[in-house]
Amino acid sequence: MVIVEVSLLSGFVLAHRSRMLLERRTIIKKIEVKADVIYIYLEKLSDESQTFVLQLEQVIQMKNLKPASVKVYNYYQPGGMQVPSYSGIGS
């Protein structure tokens, strides 16, 4: 099993509609949403490229947002690779 761990930007939450769309994908086994982190559990990874689009809703206006991180790792061997960061740019 593989985990995609997405740290949320301060003041943002995962949009309900986005979660519903993610849960329909067969590769996704489970989604856990904590206060500031989203955990997406995948059955397995293959050679096929996967794209996940997460729509976030801003619930609190924040100044000077700091980048957040995305980690991808094997559930049984955590410590895998990390994508450096992402910012809140986009619509």
The burial class, CB within 10 Å (0-12 / 13-18 / 19+), for 6 is: buried
What pLDDT sits at residue 43? Answer: 86
Placement of tokens 């500031």 in the chain: 36
| Cα gap 91→56, rounded to integer Å | 9
What pLDDT sits at residue 80? Answer: 60
Fold designation for 2-82: Immunoglobulin-like (2.60.40)
In the chain, where the domains are located: 2-82
CA 34 to chain centre: 11
What pLDDT sits at residue 62? Answer: 87
What pLDDT sits at residue 83? Answer: 58
| Cα gap 78→2, rounded to integer Å | 9
Placement of tokens 């700091």 in the chain: 66
pLDDT per residue as tens digits for the range 47-77:
888 888 889 999 999 888 888 888 888 877 7
pLDDT per residue as tens digits for the range 6-39:
999 899 999 989 888 888 888 899 999 998 999 9
* Tokens coding 19: 């979660």
